[in-house]
Amino acid sequence: MKQPRPLVITGGKLVLADGIRPGGLRCETGRIVAIGDVTPQEGDAIVDAQGALIAPGLVDFGVFAVDKPAFHFGGITRAGLMPDQSPHLDHPARVRFAAQSGKPDFWVHPFAGATMRLEGESLAELALMRDAGARAVATGRRWIGDSGIMLRLLQYAAMLDLVVVAHAEDAGIVGSAVATSGLMATRLGLPSAPSEAEALAVARDIALAELAGARLHFRQITTKSALDLIRAAKQRGVKVTAGVTPAHFMLSDLAIKDFRTFARLSPPLREEADRVAVVEAIADGTIDVVTSGHDPRGPEDKRLPFADAEPGMAGAETLLAMVLTLVRDGAITMERAFDLVASKPAQLLGVQAGALVEGWEADIALIQPEKPWIVDSEKMAAAAGNTPFDKQPAQGRVTALWKGGVAVD
């Protein structure tokens, strides 16, 4: 998809790493060529931002489905795709196909399955999948219980300079649990597991990553005890990063009180003290990435008894609005918000995106951060509307989006 003519966006507020400032930018042949006080040239397409934020397109790190209408609604121009597909992304040909699947108006960065069929037993051909376009290695929805295999995975990934994206729940403790042990799970009679299952998995994987000298990313960290371990590991120089979805900083396990399967997630929603700890970890930098965890599930997966329903949520359309609540609450700055949903995910993927930088690809979003709207599962652009934020008022909407300098409808 080639940019037909240069694009100039004026009269906006640039979202830059060092702050927000008035200005505009100019894009040519799919790249940003000027930022700041730009002057349109003859033949340029001119867009007046009318005071809106001029921001980088969002980069979603770790989604389970390529759902372009939902991503475009949410201002997402790239996404890291988890290997939990059908068939699994455990073969170079499948990785190569996935890497082409969203173009030209959306770029998919596949994660290679760490083990064959994601069963946690035999390492997959990581080098061949890297050469086929894999940008990371992921254990999928499962925790690798065999420490020897996990160590070899981390050593192999370190040789290839690929980050390992890990699921953080000790499967031996979690078993078939669908909720966090506590008052709410007891009242509802749901199979539950203690939140310490997350900390145990994190402690082991940090120790192995430190031994291997590998880069390790925990896709979702949702408990105070696990966050404390990551915070301490970072302080002693371990190459560890962590992510979370908006559900775990917006909601506690009170959201499941009516057996709402839209709130059936993996890991499950935690108690209020853990939710508060997640917000604090986002503010102090312990959490590096906020991802949508986009996983649209239809009625056949969600209109079931809570314990039988599949986990997951449609998160792409609400990602930006939920992160902006942290800005309005004073927990983080606007530039930090875009570091969480654009810059840092792009760095983990190793792509020149997620920031407004001269010479980088022109993935750009115009955003009205105060624009109000109502989240409605029946009107979502996603393949399914299984959002835990259904009918909730929200603020922050993308009003225009460009991929490589070309407008996305």
The answer to whether residue 17 is domain-embedded is no
pLDDT at 189 over 80: yes
Contacts of 3 (CB under 8 A, 6+ apart): 27, 28, 29, 30, 362, 404, 405, 406
The mean pLDDT value for 187-196 works out to: 97
The answer to whether residue 16 is domain-embedded is no
Place of tokens 């009516």: 258
CA distance 111 to 82: 5
Residue type at 359? G
Write out the E strands in 84-211: 107-113, 136-138, 164-166, 179-180, 192-193
Q: What pLDDT band is residue 1 in, cutting at 50, 70 and 90?
A: low
The pLDDT of residue 4:
86
Q: What pLDDT band is residue 326 in, cutting at 50, 70 and 90?
A: very high
pLDDT, averaged across the chain: 97
Cβ atoms of 135 and 164 within 8 Å: the answer is no
Contacts of 183 (CB under 8 A, 6+ apart): none
- Nearest CA among 312, 222, 300, 189 for reference residue 262: 312
The answer to whether residue 40 is domain-embedded is no
The pLDDT of residue 300:
94
List the CATH number of the domain containing 159: 3.20.20.140
The mean pLDDT value for 216-241 works out to: 98
Cβ atoms of 297 and 386 within 8 Å: the answer is yes
Q: Give SS3 for 38.
A: coil
The pLDDT of residue 315:
97
The pLDDT of residue 201:
98
Cβ atoms of 244 and 278 within 8 Å: the answer is yes
The answer to whether residue 361 is domain-embedded is no
CA distance 41 to 173: 63
Number of domains in the chain: 1
Residue 133's domain spans which residues? 57-355+368-396
Residue 190 tokens read as 């749901």
Q: What pLDDT band is residue 3 in, cutting at 50, 70 and 90?
A: confident
Q: What is the CA radius of gyration of the chain?
A: 21
The answer to whether residue 114 is domain-embedded is yes
The helix (run of H) or strand (run of E) holding residue 357 is: none
Residue-wise pLDDT tens digits, 116-145 = 999 999 999 999 999 999 999 999 999 999
Residue-wise pLDDT tens digits, 16-46 = 999 999 999 999 999 999 999 999 999 999 9
The answer to whether residue 404 is domain-embedded is no
CA distance 380 to 382: 5
Cβ atoms of 58 and 364 within 8 Å: the answer is no
Cβ atoms of 320 and 340 within 8 Å: the answer is no
The pLDDT of residue 293:
96
The mean pLDDT value for 257-268 works out to: 96
The pLDDT of residue 409:
82
Model confidence pTM above 0.85: yes
Peptide bond into 104 cis (omega under 30): yes
The answer to whether residue 72 is domain-embedded is yes
CA distance 64 to 86: 11
Measured torsion, CA atoms of residues 348, 349, 351, 352, in degrees rounded to the nearest 10? -30
The mean pLDDT value for 240-251 works out to: 98
Residue 171 tokens read as 């499967």
Q: What pLDDT band is residue 70 in, cutting at 50, 70 and 90?
A: very high
Place of tokens 């951060």: 369
pLDDT at 391 over 70: yes
CA distance 35 to 26: 7
Q: Give SS3 for 12.
A: strand
Residue-wise pLDDT tens digits, 354-382 = 999 999 999 999 999 999 999 999 999 99
Q: Alpha carbon of 279 to those of 244, 250, 332: distances in Å?
A: 10, 9, 9
The mean pLDDT value for 233-256 works out to: 98
Cβ atoms of 394 and 321 within 8 Å: the answer is yes
The helix (run of H) or strand (run of E) holding residue 130 is: helix 126-131
The mean pLDDT value for 164-173 works out to: 97
Q: Give SS3 for 390.
A: coil
The answer to whether residue 403 is domain-embedded is no
Cβ atoms of 47 and 8 within 8 Å: the answer is yes
Burial classification of residue 155, based on how many CB atoms lie within 10 Å of its CB (0-12 exposed, 13-18 middle, 19 or more buried): middle
CA distance 63 to 408: 20
